[in-house]
Chains A and B, each alone.
Chain A
Amino acid sequence: MGTAPGDSLPMITKEIDQERILKWAELSGDFNSLHVDPQYAKKTPFKGTIAHGPMSLAFLNELMMQWAGERWPAGGRLLDVRFRAPIRPGERIRVTGTVKGRLRVEGKTWVECELFIEKPDGVRAVEGRARVPEEE
């Protein structure tokens, strides 16, 4: 894995559809109508169903597992993940990031990355940072 500033993380693409949203509802127990009920969601300001926010966190974790492997759950940090725009069924999203640099925190050296999930129109739906402890 490249850890120099500016190095790209892998890129994962995901097709979001209502079936995946329903599967996440089943997995997480979150059956909020905004996610699972197209008729209800049409009447909300979102004008349709949207994916659950935590599903995006799962995608970011997948990205970090691909990039850092077993070092990720052994000490990784996913920081300041913000949900900027809804992700809708029918959208193909890109999950990726960039290495920002190294920093020393909590007595360890970390590689810090900027992560984001981008919608087809280029809008960043989710943004955050990740830190992975550098190998000793």
Chain B
Amino acid sequence: MSALVPDGFPDSNTTERSFAEGFPEFFSMEQPLWRRYFSMSKMRDLQEKPELVFEELIPGKPFRPLVYPLTEEKIHQYMETVGDRHPLYVDLQEAKRRGLDSCLAPPGLAAVYARLSYLQDHCMPSGGILLRQEFQFHSPARVGEVLEVRAKVEEAFVDGRGRKRVTFLIEAHRRGGEPVSTIRLYAIWPK
């Protein structure tokens, strides 16, 4: 197996080879970080998903709900990535001291599940611009809960300067229906 191929990559599989040929830059770069962080399954997903094109973004169109479990593993991954080590995410005694019955999930995870909610079946075409974003929190999500995140296109239009403008409305609820967050994401879609 080539030293540049990530661990677990089945070198003898021709299907996988074809996949590798689709990402020549990935396989020619001598960057240990790439091998460390990029799982082949995620790269494969990216290659297989169609791009979410502007013409499909019809106002009112819902995306299929995203089921997003707030596992301890995910919370730790978030904390490690962001460097946010708030005790309420991991210290049950501190949470109880503050009158909570369990640890809280970082509210910033909303930035993660918001994007995932409209890209479960598509990949984002390159060249888009995230213009603006807004969050409303309704109730704290707790570690161990499972969120259901529903996204829909709120607006999609071409503005006076010919730019393709899209607004997504994303609502996360805990199972049972109680709202957790409402997010609006304003973007310029690639041409």
- Residues of chain A whose beta carbon lies under 8 Å from any beta carbon of chain B: 14, 18-20, 22-34, 36-40, 53-55, 57-62, 64-66, 69-70, 72-83
Contact = CB atoms under 8 A, between A and B. Distances in A.
A75 B140 CA distance: 8
B77 interface: yes
Given A19-B33, A54-B111, A81-B134, A70 B81 contact: no
Contact of A31 (B38, B98, B112, B138): B38
Nearest to A31: B46
Interface stretch (B11-19, B52-60, B101-109, B149-157): B101-109
B131 to A, nearest CB: 7
A34 B25 CA distance: 13
Given A22-B33, A28-B112, A74 B139 contact: yes
Nearest to A78: B135
Contact of A69 (B80, B88, B111): B88
Given A26-B38, A58-B111, A62-B84, A32 B137 contact: no
A77 B134 contact: yes
Given A27-B81, A59-B84, 18 more contacts: A18-B33, A20-B81, A22-B37, A23-B77, A25-B38, A28-B111, A38-B31, A39-B25, A54-B114, A61-B135, A62-B106, A65-B86, A70-B100, A72-B107, A72-B137, A73-B107, A73-B141, A80-B132
Contact of A73 (B25, B43, B116, B140): B140
Nearest to A30: B115
A58 B82 contact: yes
B3 interface: no
Contact of B134 (A22, A37, A75, A79): A79
Contacts of B116: 28-29
B161 to A, nearest CB: 17
Nearest to A61: B108
B130 interface: yes
B98 A70 contact: yes
A13 to B, nearest CB: 10
